[in-house]
Structure 1
Amino acid sequence: MMNNKLKLIFFYFLLFFVMECESTKIIEIQGHRGCRGLMPENTLEAFKKAIELGVHTIELDVAISKDNIVVVSHEPFMSRTTCLDMNGFEIAEDYDKKYNLYQMTFDSIKQFDCGTKFHPRFTKQQKLKTYKPSLDEVIKTSKKLNPKIKFNIEVKSKPSFDGIFTPSPKDFVALVLRVVNDNQVFKTTNIQSFDLRVLEETKKQSPKMKVALLIGANEDVFGKLSSMSFLPEIISPDYKLLNDKLVRDLKTKNFQVIPWTVNSVEDLKKVIELNVDGIITDYPDRLINLLYK
């Protein structure tokens, strides 16, 4: 039997070990839309750059084309803010949402230039002519660069888009899961959404798929959670909602906490101090510098 002195030494050793592990815990670095602050969003070039920088996970958004290709795009249409038309001209204001991806084949979607236009919010983006890729392309390209890279896939869905800009949540989720499974990245992927219907459908079709509940700035975390029929693995709130108590409460309930989208050095430092599990950022280079340099 261990005597009391040895028990005490063992206890303090164990306490030190736990505290040391906690202090050196790795924060998952997620490149938002690749690395939107540095490269055109949701493009192969943005994902390549993010992986070269050293992100653990690439975060991206998906829509569906007319021919049922899962397209990597934040909007289910050609945004005037990020894209030029197939002739290289500005998309007129009265053409906003006219180029509906759900009514376009993937071949026609690739004709639009979504990398040359100046972005008013991300003035340091490197500009180059590029297109909206398929999810299949992104996964294959990313895995070649880093076989261990993880994928955080946001399904962009809401009731007003059903049948107009997007398929039903059931069909949408099925198409995304097919690409994930065909590329054998199930274990390194999670699906996230603001739309509870998408998360419910994901668990129905694939019970073991990790899901992340996205929380908007004007939403209540536990109020939204109470509307779900299951508990998601990850809670991803707007970072401005976070405080010490909320993070502790969520982690006590065994949720991973991965806020979005934290960009300034000052905000990144504050969120790091909250002991979150990961951070989604447009500037993964800034986060990497803070954590490792």
Structure 2
Amino acid sequence: MKTMIKKYPNTKFIAHRGLPSKVLENTLEGFKKAAKLPFFGIETDIHLTLDQVAIIHHDDNLIRLANIDLNINETSYEVLSTLKLKDTYKIPLLDAYIDICKTYHKEAIIELKPKFSLDQIKFFIEKIEAHDYLDHVIFISFHRENLVQLKSILKICNIQILTDTFDEDIFNFLIKHRFDLSIHHSQVTKDLINLLHKNDIKISTWTVNDKVLMESLAKLGIDYITTDGI
């Protein structure tokens, strides 16, 4: 990754859920390993437990990584804190992830995974503000409501809508709210990049784990590439 990042300085490379090509996704160990490489930022996913504790995990349920059928929003942090992912790793807190990003000077790319209420989004913002790190966060989500609510609180912030397709409706949404785009790599073309750049919209793509494709996208002029590491 070091060679690739150095070769294309105009593209910002993002470590997807830490560095899952080397360490289990969304773990403190993975975040630290990614932080020691020259990535622009580290991406992660946030949820709230039943007792409103902000934790890091991709899925809504623990079955895939902890082999237990528990929904995060229906389970207390006291219970979740006793579990091990793949019998080894603890479920991280949002605070710990932000601390790592701040310590290693990495942008925090935070996906609001489920739909959240306005008060819950305010809670996330307050937690990040407590670390004095809001200026180094890019918020992303598939849920438009999350992004619109974010913008209603933070007039100036970096926001990207996640999508695996692109159409006129999405384009109009980007224009209206002045959001950037984060789209699956299969949908990226030079024409799309040019259209977005013409309208001062940045474009990110995910999750790119093929070196040839990564170089091709960087040569097209894409702004961000998210990768598991190669």
Normalised to the residue count of structure 1, the TM-score between the two structures is 0.72
Residues 1:32 and 2:1 are matched in the alignment: no
Residue 57 of structure 1, CA deviation: 0.2
Q: Percent identity?
A: 21
- 2:177 matched residue in structure 1: 230
Residue 156 of structure 1, CA deviation: 0.9
- Decide which of 27, 45, 63 is 2:47's aligned counterpart: 63
Q: Which moved more, 1:206-215 or 1:194-203?
A: 206-215
- 2:96 matched residue in structure 1: 137
CA contact (8 A) 1:64 1:76 kept: no
Where does structure 2 lack aligned partners over 5 or more consecutive residues?
A: 1-6
Residue 169 of structure 1, CA deviation: 3.0
- Decide which of 211, 229, 237 is 2:159's aligned counterpart: 211
- Decide which of 173, 176, 189 is 2:137's aligned counterpart: 189
Q: Kindly provide the amino acid, as one letter, of the partner of residue 265 in structure 1.
A: K
Residue 103 of structure 1, CA deviation: 1.9
- 1:276 matched residue in structure 2: 222
CA contact (8 A) 1:157 1:169 kept: no
CA contact (8 A) 2:8 2:218 kept: no
Distance 1:50 1:157, change over 3 A: same
- 2:83 matched residue in structure 1: 112
Residue 171 of structure 1, CA deviation: 2.8
Distance 1:24 1:104, change over 3 A: closer
Q: Kindly provide the amino acid, as one letter, of the partner of residue 91 in structure 2.
A: K
Larger radius of gyration: 1
Secondary structure of residue in 2 paired with 1:59: strand
Matched residues in 1 for 2:228 and 2:211: separation?
A: 12
- 1:14 matched residue in structure 2: none
- 1:198 matched residue in structure 2: 146
Q: Which moved more, 1:62-71 or 1:219-228?
A: 219-228
1:69-80 residue pairs with structure 2 within 5 A? 69-78=53-62, 80=63
Residue 221 of structure 1, CA deviation: 4.2
Matched residues in 2 for 1:105 and 1:114: separation?
A: 16
Matched residues in 2 for 1:230 and 1:169: separation?
A: 19
Matched residues in 1 for 2:64 and 2:50: separation?
A: 23
Residue 256 of structure 1, CA deviation: 1.2
What CA deviation, in whole Å up to 9, does each residue of 1:204-237 have, x standing for no partner?
1111121011111xx32442232464120x2111
- Decide which of 121, 129, 133 is 1:173's aligned counterpart: 121
Matched residues in 1 for 2:79 and 2:8: separation?
A: 48
- 2:4 matched residue in structure 1: none
Residue 201 of structure 1, CA deviation: 0.3
Residue 81 of structure 1, CA deviation: 2.4
Greater fraction of residues in strand: 2
Residue 242 of structure 1, CA deviation: 0.5
Residue 39 of structure 1, CA deviation: 0.9
- 1:45 matched residue in structure 2: 29
Matched residues in 2 for 1:193 and 1:200: separation?
A: 10
Residue 104 of structure 1, CA deviation: 1.7
- 1:246 matched residue in structure 2: 192
What CA deviation, in whole Å up to 9, does each residue of 1:76-105 have, x standing for no partner?
221x32223xxxxxx4xxxxxx41111222
Q: Kindly provide the amino acid, as one letter, of the partner of residue 153 in structure 1.
A: I
Q: Kindly provide the amino acid, as one letter, of the partner of residue 133 in structure 1.
A: P
Q: Kindly provide the amino acid, as one letter, of the partner of residue 114 in structure 2.
A: S
Structure 1 stretches of at least 4 aligned residues deviating more than 3 Å after TM superposition? none
Give the aligned CA root-mean-square deviation in angstroms.
1.8
Where does structure 1 lack aligned partners over 5 or more consecutive residues?
A: 1-22, 85-90, 92-97, 117-128, 159-167, 287-293
What CA deviation, in whole Å up to 9, does each residue of 1:152-189 have, x standing for no partner?
1000124xxxxxxxxx4313311211111111111110
Q: Kindly provide the amino acid, as one letter, of the partner of residue 83 in structure 1.
A: A
